[in-house]
Structure 1
Amino acid sequence: MAKTAEAEYRWNSGPFKVGIVPRGGAISRIDWVRPDGNGVINLLRPIDDYALTSGNPSHLGCFPMVPFANRLGYAQFEFDGKTINVPANRAPDPHAIHGFGISSVWDIERPTVDTIRFNHKHDDPQTGFCYVAWQQIKVANDTISIEIGVRHLGKGPMPYGIGLHPWFPGGESAWVQFVATDCFSTDEGKLPTTRTVIDLGRDFADGKMIRHHKGLDVHYIGWNKQVEMVWADRQLSLLLEASDTLSNLQFYIPENGQTFCVEPVSHVPNVHNRPEFKEFGDVRVLGYNDTLSGVMTLTPGLLTGSDNGLVDDHEEPVGRRDYSLVD
């Protein structure tokens, strides 16, 4: 395995140039070489030196969520007759968020021409979460895929969830489209409370501009495993696809609109404590050596002249980004 003290490890394959930050197992950038020869486009949100050295993967382009995704209410749950307590890792928020992988150092294995893999081990007999988690990036022609997986190594079974948390550029021209059947209302702590229909303000089936929905933070179920994104000012389209194991979608737009997240995940947030939500996306109970994995694939493309009519062509202001808005 390649142990590196560098803040960012760089790997190139085909038309993609990838940056990985071992602390937190985050992907710092996915640069795509334009097929027309006019430079490169970062498919994820732009970062700077502060983001790279902050030690917070939420400031970077994409980070893993394992062994649970999004929020876990009051950092505890009941399982197999025991109360499992995990760290509440974003004070003063009383909940746990995004799992343990974001606070771990991931080891990068020696890459091949088209594949790079990095992993971390977690061994906590007190909670029962003993596992090895991995991410594998693979390039095939004009697509790049990220697999996240976990293998349980504990003596007794434990419930697991996974997800990926990519950040994409916002701005005036960013447009998003996806289809889902239902979503959840949440309480003040952003924990799901009630399954509900998708009203007009949360419906992206026909595509909507990011700039008109700042502050949106919604968990969707029954999504079609595809998200279409367009940035007219960058002449870029991007198709995100997910495997069936990533059955749910968290969609978040910070108040400043400079970025947004579409997060493929395997379960409803806090389903550990809400058994009535299990049918809408449950954690997976793994025995010794059992695994759970999911794949997110990104396919970029250049817009044609007719495509530009999807969104207003307007340049995004350039300046220091607000890193206080992280999810």
Structure 2
Amino acid sequence: MSSSEENVRLTVGEAELTVDPLHGCRISSLRIGGTELLRQGDRYGCFPMVPWCGRTGHGRFRNGGVLHELPLNSPPHAIHGTGRDTSWTPAYTAADLAEGRAAFYYDLAAPWPYEGRVTQTFELTGDALTLGLAVETYGDSFPAQAGWHPWFRRNLGGEDARIAFEPAWQEERGADHLPTGKRIDPVPGPWDDCFGMPDGVDVKLTWPEQFELSVKSRSEWVVVYDEQDEAVCVEPQSGPPNGLNTAPRLVTPIDPLEVGAVWSWARL
């Protein structure tokens, strides 16, 4: 349990979590018994997607009759929110760190057009990590989304990770990488696709004879991205890509958006 100006480290048993609040409050490392589970390098760790997840089509969304335009950071779309590009403020005590907990927040600002606050929480035990994200408004109601984008290592030195899950449907993906609005039967990967799990997200990664890791959430949406050789992404989120337009969930003064996820693991 330690913290520095740049990184916050939680250690419980053989589990060690490192959070970098200055660089998007990203999990920069998750080590179990010395084995790093998250990819390192340029696209690394796990970052929060907030106040939207995945791609927002052409950077545009409406709140009632008002049209907003976001910067196209993945042309022709706006992708993954502003939280990952923001410095977050610590909101924990020494006692929290000693018990494996930490919390951080940042205030929404341009290019996001509404005022509010985002809070992210972490709670580590010896065999699980519980994540939380909350979005609240300082005034006007607005649509928002929240979720996580982990880069799990495909290979830990043995066989490649295997993905197991049973979605109820897959969102058909158009040529522009946005869901078309049509739900189809799940098709084999590789994927950069959104799936519906109405009973809650439940995806298992297995590195044979090494580790088993489950990603669970009460949210019913998950994006699975495994088109890269080095990593597998399992992204629970509060709505589908482009959901600010197709499935808006309003954050109001009396109804914040709250999302949670649990990663649990075991040695094999």
Q: Distance in 2 between matches of 1:32 and 1:3?
A: 19
Pick from 124, 139, 142 the counterpart of residue 124 of structure 2: 139
> TM-score of the superposition, structure 2-length normalised?
0.88
Answer whether contact 2:107 2:117 (CA < 8 A) is retained: yes
Q: Where in structure 2 are the equivalents of 1:119-158 lying within 5 Å?
A: 119-124=105-110, 128-153=113-138, 155-158=139-142
Answer whether contact 2:12 2:125 (CA < 8 A) is retained: no
Q: 1:170 to 1:134 in 2, by over 3 A?
A: same
Greater strand share, 1 or 2? 2
Tell me by how many angstroms 1:100 deviates. 1.0
Is there any run of 5+ residues in structure 2 with no aligned partner, and where? none
Q: 1:4 to 1:81 in 2, by over 3 A?
A: farther
Greater helix share, 1 or 2? 1
> TM-score of the superposition, structure 1-length normalised?
0.73
Instruction: Tell me which amino acid in the other structure corresponds to 1:265.
Output: Q
Answer whether contact 2:141 2:253 (CA < 8 A) is retained: yes
SS in 2 for 1:18: strand
- Give the greater-gyration-radius structure (CA): 1
Tell me by how many angstroms 1:151 deviates. 1.2
Is there any run of 5+ residues in structure 1 with no aligned partner, and where? 34-39, 52-58, 203-212, 275-281, 304-327
Partner of 2:216: 241
Quick one: percent identity of the two aligned structures?
25
Partner of 1:252: 225
Q: Where in structure 2 are the equivalents of 1:43-122 lying within 5 Å?
A: 43-45=37-39, 47-48=40-41, 51=42, 59-90=43-74, 93-111=75-93, 112=96, 113-122=99-108
Pick from 231, 235, 238 the counterpart of residue 263 of structure 1: 235
Tell me by how many angstroms 1:3 deviates. 9.6
Partner of 1:29: 29
Cα RMSD of the aligned pairs, angstroms, is: 2.2
Instruction: Tell me which amino acid in the other structure corresponds to 1:116.
Output: A
Answer whether contact 1:128 1:158 (CA < 8 A) is retained: no
Tell me by how many angstroms 1:263 deviates. 0.3
Q: Distance in 2 between matches of 1:284 and 1:15?
A: 38
Q: Distance in 1 between matches of 2:27 and 2:196?
A: 26
SS in 2 for 1:123: coil
- List structure 1 runs of 4+ shifted beyond 4 angstroms: 2-5
Instruction: Tell me which amino acid in the other structure corresponds to 1:231.
Output: W
Between Structure 1 and Structure 2, how many residues are aligned? Answer: 258
Q: Distance in 1 between matches of 2:3 and 2:76?
A: 34
Partner of 2:258: 293
1:302 aligns with 2:267: yes
Q: Distance in 2 between matches of 1:272 and 1:298?
A: 26
